[in-house]
Structure 1
Amino acid sequence: MACERDGMSDEMIGEALIKEVIEEELKDMPDNFQLPTSLAVDVKSEQEKKVVTQLAKMIRIVGDKVQDDRAFQDAIDGIARDPVSKWVRFRQVADKVFEHGITWERIAVLIYVAGRLAVKMVEIHLPQSVRDIISWTVEFLKNNLLVWIQEHGGWINSFPDLAVASIQRMSLMSSPSYNLIFFFIAGLGLGSFITWRLTR
Structure 2
Amino acid sequence: MACEETPDDQIGEALLIGVIEDQVKSVNAAGDTSSLGIPKPKPLSHAQNQMLLNQLADTIRVIGDRLDMDTGFNDMIDGLGRVANKNSFWKLVEGVFSDGQINWGRIIVLFYSVGKLAAKMVLAHLPEVFSEILNLSLDYFRRTLLQWIRNMGGWINSISGVTRFSIEQFSASSFRRISPSAGQWVVFGAGVLLGGIIVWRLKRFT
Higher mean C-alpha deviation, range 148-157 or range 45-54? 45-54
Match status 1:18 vs 2:31: no
Counterpart-to-counterpart distance in 2, 1:73 and 1:98: 18
CA distance 1:47–1:125, shift in 2 (3 Å): same
Number of the residue aligned with 2:200: 193
Aligned residues of 1:62 and 1:105 also touching (Cα < 8 A): no
Displacement after TM superposition at 1:160 (Å): 2.1
Opposite residue 137 of structure 2, the aligned amino acid is T
Number of the residue aligned with 2:30: 31
Higher mean C-alpha deviation, range 66-75 or range 22-31? 66-75
Displacement after TM superposition at 1:138 (Å): 1.2
Counterpart-to-counterpart distance in 2, 1:155 and 1:129: 29
Aligned residues of 2:23 and 2:115 also touching (Cα < 8 A): yes
Say how many residue pairs are matched. 182
Counterpart-to-counterpart distance in 1, 2:8 and 2:134: 17
CA distance 1:136–1:146, shift in 2 (3 Å): same
Number of the residue aligned with 2:142: 142
Aligned residues of 2:97 and 2:106 also touching (Cα < 8 A): yes
Counterpart-to-counterpart distance in 1, 2:66 and 2:31: 30
Number of the residue aligned with 1:113: 113
SS in structure 2 of the partner of residue 102 of structure 1: coil
Counterpart-to-counterpart distance in 1, 2:31 and 2:203: 41
Compute the RMSD of aligned alpha carbons: 3.0
Counterpart-to-counterpart distance in 2, 1:54 and 1:169: 20
Aligned residues of 1:156 and 1:195 also touching (Cα < 8 A): no
CA distance 1:121–1:135, shift in 2 (3 Å): same
Number of the residue aligned with 2:51: 50
Counterpart-to-counterpart distance in 1, 2:97 and 2:166: 19
TM-score between both structures, scaled by the size of structure 1: 0.74
CA distance 1:135–1:24, shift in 2 (3 Å): same
Counterpart-to-counterpart distance in 2, 1:128 and 1:49: 31
Question: What aligned pairs does 1:72-87 form with structure 2 within 5 A after superposition?
Answer: 72-83=73-84, 86-87=85-86
Displacement after TM superposition at 1:59 (Å): 1.4
TM-score between both structures, scaled by the size of structure 2: 0.72
Question: What aligned pairs does 1:105-184 form with structure 2 within 5 A after superposition?
Answer: 105-165=105-165, 169=187, 171=189, 184=192
Number of the residue aligned with 2:63: 62
CA distance 1:64–1:102, shift in 2 (3 Å): farther
CA distance 1:194–1:121, shift in 2 (3 Å): same
Number of the residue aligned with 1:96: 95
Structure 1: gaps of 5 or more residues: 172-179
Number of the residue aligned with 2:176: none
Counterpart-to-counterpart distance in 2, 1:42 and 1:121: 28
